[in-house]
C-alpha cells in the first residue's frame, strides 16, 4: 500500500511548495507524516526523510499533551481550521516562534508554518522609556531644551542648543522661551502647551528660531510633555533644516523623535576600543549595567570587529573624521541583533571615538519582507499572465494601464494597441444605457459590476463575454483603479442554446406519447375496456402515476427553459392568494393525510387581490408546499400564512422596499445544513440530508420558484435550523388594481 495520498503522490503541482519560505506539512488521519516541504523540515530542525512515513506519536513521544497536538486533533476530528502562535525550545537551547495554520483536507490535515522569531524578538526589543530621552540628551547633535509647563522657564539645554542659537547655558537656563524669542507670543505658547498636554501626545512641527545675533534659523521641532522629578516639563528637540528643508519635509515627522531619543551612545578609547562612557539607552539595549560596560571593549559586544575591520574604520575616520557601517551586536543574554553605527572622532581632553548606535532589526525585517514580497509579486504576475481569462487594469477614467497576454489573443489587438486607450477598443457594442448603468455602479456606488456582453474582435467578429469589474479604493475610500476579468463564453452560449433547444424538442415530443399513456390508463382504470381485476388495476394505477410524474417533470423543464430564455409571457390578473393556497393544499391532501401532518393555514382578513400571473403563483406555491410536506417527518406540522407587509417592515432580516404581500411556508422538517444554504437555489442542487431523506428529486423546484419570484419582481429567501425545520418567505410587490 502506498502511504502517500493521491493529493501529493505524483502531483507535480506540489513541487512548488518546496520553494516556499512557509513550512507545509500533510498529516494523515493515522497521524502519519506524508509530506513536508523544505521549509517545514527546516522549521522543525529535522530531515524530511526522518519524518515521512512515521507518525507523530512515534517520533515525538508525549506529544499528546502539547498545545500543537490539541490544535491538530481539533482540526482532524472537528474538521475545523485552527490558527495559533507558538514557541519551541530546541535541544540546543535555541527558542524560535512560529505561526501555525491548520486546515482539514480529505487525507487528514494540512499545516502551514511561518517563522515569526525575528518579529517576536523585534517586539521584545522595541521599548521606549523616559531614560532613553534623558540619556541621549547630552550626546545628541540636535538642539534640545527642557522647559517647565507651568511657567515656561528653560530648565536645561544641550551644547547643540548653545552652538546653534549663540546663547550659553547660563544665559538660557531660568529664562522663558518667549524672552529668547523662540515663540512669537505667550498666547501661542499656551495653545501649544494645551495641545501637548492632551493625551500626552508628541507634537512635530516646523518653526523659526532667532539666534542671539538676530539671525533666524528654520528647524523641525519635536516636543512632548513628561514628568521630571514630579514636575511637568516639555522636552523639545530641534534639527536645523535651513539648508535642507525641501529635501527633508516628508521625513521630519518620523526622524526627529527617533534621532534624538532612541539611539545608543558609546565613547571609546581609539587605541584600545575600551568603553570610556556609555549612555543609558545603550545599557538598556545590551542588557549590561554601565559599570559592566565600562570594564569591556567593543570587541566584547561586536564579534565581527577584527583587525581588518578596525583598520578600515580607522582609515575612514582619520580621512573624513567619521565613518558609517553595519554590524551585529551581542546582548548579555546572548541574542544577536543588527545595528547601524555612525562613528565620529571627537576632541575633548584627548581624542575619543564617539559611536551612535541604532538598532536596525525592524529595518532589516522590512527589507527581508520587501524581498519576499517582490518574489511573491513576480509569482502573481506570472499567474496573471498565464490566466486563460482577460485581466485588465484601468485608471479611474477607464484608460487601460495593463492587460495580460490572453487579452491580445482573444481580441486580436496587440498590447501596444490597447494600452493608453479605453476598453471600447474592442467593446462598445452594448446600448448606451448599459454603460451608463455600469459606470454608475462602479464609479458612484463603488460596487463590483458583473454582466454578459457582446464585444468585437479586431477582425470584426462578435463574441459573447462574461465580465466582472471591481473598483480598487484608496485609503480615503475613493476609486483609484478598476480591475476587470473578461471570459469568452461564446462556445458556452452555443452549448446552452443547443441544450435548451434539445430539452424543448425532447419535452414537446415526449408530451404526445405521455398524453396517450395518461388517456388510455384513465380509460382502463375507469373500466372502459372491461372490468380489471385488483392486480391489473394496481399496475395501471402505477403506470398512470408514473406518467403523471413524468408529465410534471416535463412541465418543470419547459418552465425553466422559458425562464432562462426570457420567453415567459406574464399575464397579470387579480389573484386571491388565500383561495390559491387553499386549492394548492387540497392538491397535496393525499401525502399530507398519509404522513398525518397538521396543516395550518392563516390568511389575513380583507386581504386585497394580488395582481400577478396566476400560473406563476401556482407553480411557486406547489413547489414550496410540496417541499415542506416531503421533508417533514410523520406527525409533523406545516403552516402557511398570507399577510400584508408594509413598506419598511423587516421580515426575517429582509426589509420590504414597497407595500407587498408576504407568503410564508413553515415546516418542522429536516432543515437545511448551514454548508448548503448558499447553494439551495442553484439548479440541480439538493442538500446532503435531502438526498438521504428522499433519493428521488431533480433539484429544480426551488431554483424554478426563485426564478419565477424574481420574474415577478419579488424576493424569495428562507430561515432554517437543521433538524428543526425551515421557513420560506416570498415577498411580492402589491400593485394597484
DSSP code string of 360-377? -HHHHHHHHHHHHHHHHH
Rounded Cα distance between 153 and 167, Å, is 15
Strand order in the sheet with 400-403: 400-403, 390-395, 479-488, 462-473, 449-456
Looking at the domain assignment, is residue 370 inside a domain? Answer: no
3-state helix, strand, coil in the chain (%, to 5): 40, 30, 30
The pLDDT, as a whole number, for residue 632 is: 94
The neighbouring-strand residues paired with 395 are 481
Looking at the domain assignment, is residue 1 inside a domain? Answer: no
Looking at the domain assignment, is residue 120 inside a domain? Answer: no
Same structural domain for residues 671 and 561? Answer: no
Same structural domain for residues 704 and 600? Answer: yes
Same structural domain for residues 650 and 724? Answer: yes
Same structural domain for residues 724 and 650? Answer: yes
Looking at the domain assignment, is residue 601 inside a domain? Answer: yes
Same structural domain for residues 580 and 474? Answer: no
Q: How far is CA 542 from CA 160, 514, 528, 538, 546, in A?
A: 105, 14, 18, 6, 6
Proportion of the chain above pLDDT 70, given as a percent:
81
**Among positive and negative, which fits the CA dihedral 133, 138, 143, 144?**
positive
Domain end position, chosen among 550, 565, 580: 565
Same structural domain for residues 559 and 606? Answer: no
Q: Assign 3-class secondary structure to 161-180.
A: HHHHHCCCHHHHCCCECCCC
The neighbouring-strand residues paired with 267 are 277, 354
Strand order in the sheet with 108-115: 33-36, 23-28, 108-115, 95-105, 82-89
512-544: string of b/e by CB count within 10 Å (b at 16+)? eebeebbebbeebeeeeeeebeeeeeeebeebb
What is the H or E stretch that residue 394 is in?
A: strand 390-395
Same structural domain for residues 499 and 592? Answer: no
The pLDDT, as a whole number, for residue 642 is: 93
Give the other-Cβ count within 10 Å of 337's Cβ: 18
Q: Assign 3-class secondary structure to 710-727.
A: HHCCCEEEEEEECCCEEE
Q: Are 652 and 717 in contact (CB under 8 A)?
A: yes
Using CB atoms within 10 Å of the CB of residue 16, give its burial: 0 to 12 exposed, 13 to 18 middle, 19+ buried. exposed
The pLDDT, as a whole number, for residue 65 is: 87
What is the H or E stretch that residue 434 is in?
A: helix 432-439
DSSP 102-139: EEEETTEEEEEEEE-HHHHHHHHH----HHHHHHHTTT
From 237, 220, 229, 300, select the one nearest 266 (Cα to Cα). 300
Domains identified in the chain, total number: 6
From 446, 423, 421, select the one nearest 435 (Cα to Cα). 423
Range of the domain at 326: 264-365
The residues of the chain scoring below 50 in pLDDT are 1-12, 126-130, 184, 247-261, 737
Same structural domain for residues 180 and 250? Answer: yes
Same structural domain for residues 601 and 673? Answer: yes
Rounded Cα distance between 72 and 79, Å, is 10
Same structural domain for residues 215 and 313? Answer: no
Residues in contact with 683: Cβ distance below 8 Å, sequence separation at least 6, in sequence order: 560, 699, 700, 703
Looking at the domain assignment, is residue 279 inside a domain? Answer: yes
Q: How far is CA 590 from CA 184, 517, 586, 596, in A?
A: 95, 23, 8, 10
Sort strands 390-395 and 400-403 into parallel, antiparallel or unpaired: antiparallel
The pLDDT, as a whole number, for residue 254 is: 30
Same structural domain for residues 613 and 660? Answer: yes
What is the H or E stretch that residue 340 is in?
A: strand 336-347
From 413, 411, 378, 407, select the one nearest 485 (Cα to Cα). 407
Q: Cα 332–336–340 angle (5° rounding)?
A: 110
Q: How far is CA 467 from CA 389, 398, 408, 485, 489, in A?
A: 10, 15, 16, 6, 10
What 8-state DSSP symbol labels residue 531? P
Same structural domain for residues 587 and 692? Answer: yes
Report the chain's terminal Cα–Cα distance, integer Å: 74
208-221: string of b/e by CB count within 10 Å (b at 16+)? ebeeeeeeebebbb
Q: Are 96 and 117 in contact (CB under 8 A)?
A: yes
From 413, 429, 498, select the one nearest 464 (Cα to Cα). 429
Rounded Cα distance between 96 and 116, Å, is 8
Q: Which residue has the cell 539611539?
A: 263
- Number of helices and strands in the chain (H, E): 25, 29
Q: Are 500 and 522 in contact (CB under 8 A)?
A: no
Domain end position, chosen among 222, 241, 261: 261
Domain end position, chosen among 88, 115, 142: 115
DSSP 615-642: HHHHHHHHHHHHHHHHTS-TT-EEEEEE
> The domain that contains 147 carries what CATH number?
3.30.450.20
> In this structure, what C-alpha cell is assigned to residue 240?
536645523
The neighbouring-strand residues paired with 55 are 32
> In this structure, what C-alpha cell is assigned to residue 668?
418542522
Looking at the domain assignment, is residue 424 inside a domain? Answer: yes
What 8-state DSSP symbol labels residue 591? H
Amino acid at each position: 500500500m502506498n502511504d502517500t495520498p493521491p493529493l501529493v503522490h505524483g502531483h507535480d503541482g506540489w513541487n512548488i511548495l518546496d520553494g516556499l519560505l512557509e513550512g507545509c506539512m500533510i498529516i494523515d488521519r493515522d497521524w502519519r507524516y506524508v509530506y513536508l516541504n523544505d521549509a517545514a523540515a527546516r522549521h522543525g530542525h529535522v530531515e524530511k526523510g526522518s519524518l515521512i512515513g512515521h507518525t507523530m506519536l512515534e517520533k515525538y513521544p508525549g506529544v499528546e499533551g502539547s498545545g500543537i497536538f490539541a490544535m491538530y486533533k481539533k482540526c482532524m476530528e472537528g474538521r475545523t481550521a485552527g490558527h495559533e502562535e507558538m514557541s519551541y525550545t530546541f535541544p540546543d537551547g535555541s527558542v524560535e516562534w512560529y505561526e501555525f495554520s491548520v486546515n482539514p483536507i480529505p487525507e487528514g490535515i494540512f499545516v502551514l508554518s511561518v517563522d515569526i522569531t525575528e518579529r517576536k524578538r523585534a517586539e521584545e526589543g522595541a521599548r521606549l522609556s523616559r531614560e532613553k530621552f534623558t540619556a541621549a540628551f547630552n550626546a545628541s547633535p540636535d538642539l534640545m531644551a527642557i522647559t517647565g509647563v507651568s511657567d515656561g522657564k528653560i530648565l536645561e539645554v544641550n551644547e547643540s542648543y548653545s552652538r546653534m542659537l549663540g546663547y550659553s547655558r547660563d544665559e538660557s537656563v531660568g529664562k522663558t522661551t518667549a524672552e529668547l524669542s523662540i515663540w512669537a507670543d505667550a498666547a501661542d505658547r499656551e495653545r501649544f502647551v494645551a495641545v501637548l498636554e492632551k493625551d500626552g501626545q508628541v507634537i512635530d512641527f516646523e518653526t523659526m528660531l532667532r539666534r542671539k545675533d538676530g539671525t533666524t534659523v528654520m528647524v523641525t521641532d519635536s516636543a512632548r510633555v513628561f514628568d521630571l522629578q514630579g514636575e511637568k516639563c516639555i522636552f523639545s528637540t530641534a534639527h536645523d533644516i535651513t539648508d535642507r528643508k525641501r529635501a527633508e519635509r516628508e521625513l521630519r515627522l518620523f526622524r526627529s523623535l527617533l534621532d534624538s531619543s532612541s539611539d545608543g551612545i558609546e565613547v571609546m578609547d581609539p587605541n584600545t576600543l575600551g568603553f570610556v562612557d556609555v549612555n543609558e539607552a545603550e545599557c538598556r539595549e545590551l542588557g549590561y549595567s554601565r559599570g559592566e560596560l565600562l570594564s569591556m571593549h567593543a570587541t566584547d559586544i561586536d564579534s565581527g570587529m577584527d583587525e581588518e575591520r578596525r583598520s578600515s574604520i580607522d582609515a575612514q575616520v582619520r580621512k573624513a573624521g567619521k565613518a558609517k557601517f553595519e554590524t551585529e551586536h551581542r546582548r548579555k543574554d546572548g541574542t544577536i541583533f543588527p545595528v547601524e553605527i555612525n562613528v565620529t572622532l571627537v576632541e575633548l581632553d584627548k581624542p575619543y571615538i564617539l559611536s551612535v548606535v541604532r538598532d536596525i532589526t525592524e529595518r532589516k525585517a522590512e527589507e527581508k519582507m520587501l524581498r519576499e514580497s517582490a518574489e511573491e509579486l513576480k509569482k502573481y504576475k506570472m499567474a496573471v499572465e498565464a490566466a486563460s481569462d482577460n485581466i485588465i487594469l484601468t485608471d479611474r477614467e477607464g484608460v487601460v494601464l495593463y492587460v495580460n497576454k490572453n487579452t491580445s489573443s482573444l481580441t486580436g489587438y496587440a498590447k501596444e494597441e490597447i494600452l493608453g486607450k479605453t476598453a471600447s477598443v474592442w467593446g462598445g457594442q452594448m446600448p448606451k444605457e448599459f454603460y451608463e448603468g455600469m459606470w454608475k455602479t462602479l464609479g458612484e456606488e463603488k460596487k463590483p459590476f458583473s454582466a454578459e456582453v457582446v464585444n468585437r474582435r479586431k477582425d470584426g467578429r462578435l463574441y459573447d463575454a462574461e465580465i466582472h469589474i471591481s473598483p480598487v479604493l484608496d485609503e480615503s475610500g475613493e476609486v483609484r483603479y478598476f480591475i476587470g476579468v473578461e471570459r469568452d463564453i461564446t462556445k458556452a452560449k452555443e452549448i446552452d442554446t443547443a441544450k435548451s433547444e434539445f430539452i424543448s424538442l425532447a419535452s414537446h415530443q415526449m408530451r404526445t406519447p405521455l398524453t396517450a399513456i395518461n388517456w388510455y390508463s384513465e380509460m382502463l382504470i375507469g373500466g372502459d375496456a372491461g372490468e380489471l381485476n385488483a392486480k391489473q388495476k394496481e399496475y395501471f394505477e402505477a403506470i398512470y402515476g408514473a406518467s403523471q410524474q413524468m408529465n410534471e417533470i416535463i412541465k418543470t423543464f419547459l418552465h425553466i427553459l422559458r425562464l432562462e430564455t426570457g420567453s415567459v409571457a406574464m399575464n397579470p390578473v387579480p389573484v386571491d392568494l388565500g383561495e390559491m393556497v387553499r386549492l394548492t393544499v387540497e392538491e397535496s391532501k393525499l401525502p399530507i393525510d398519509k404522513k398525518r401532518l397538521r396543516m395550518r393555514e392563516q390568511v389575513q382578513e380583507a386581504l386585497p387581490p394580488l395582481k400577478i400571473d396566476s400560473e406563476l403563483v401556482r407553480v411557486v406555491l406547489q413547489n414550496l408546499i410540496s417541499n415542506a410536506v416531503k421533508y417533514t417527518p410523520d406527525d409533523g406540522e406545516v403552516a402557511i400564512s398570507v399577510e400584508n407587509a408594509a413598506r419598511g417592515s423587516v421580515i426575517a432580516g429582509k426589509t420590504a422596499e414597497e407595500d407587498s404581500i408576504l407568503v410564508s411556508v413553515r415546516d418542522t422538517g429536516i432543515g437545511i445544513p448551514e454548508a448548503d444554504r448558499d447553494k439551495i437555489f442553484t439548479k440541480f442542487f439538493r442538500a446532503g440530508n435531502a438526498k438521504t431523506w428522499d433519493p428521488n428529486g431533480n433539484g429544480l423546484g426551488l431554483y424554478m420558484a426563485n426564478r419565477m419570484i424574481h420574474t415577478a419582481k419579488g424576493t424569495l429567501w428562507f430561515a432554517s435550523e437543521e433538524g428543526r425545520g425551515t421557513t420560506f418567505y416570498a415577498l411580492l410587490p402589491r400593485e394597484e388594481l
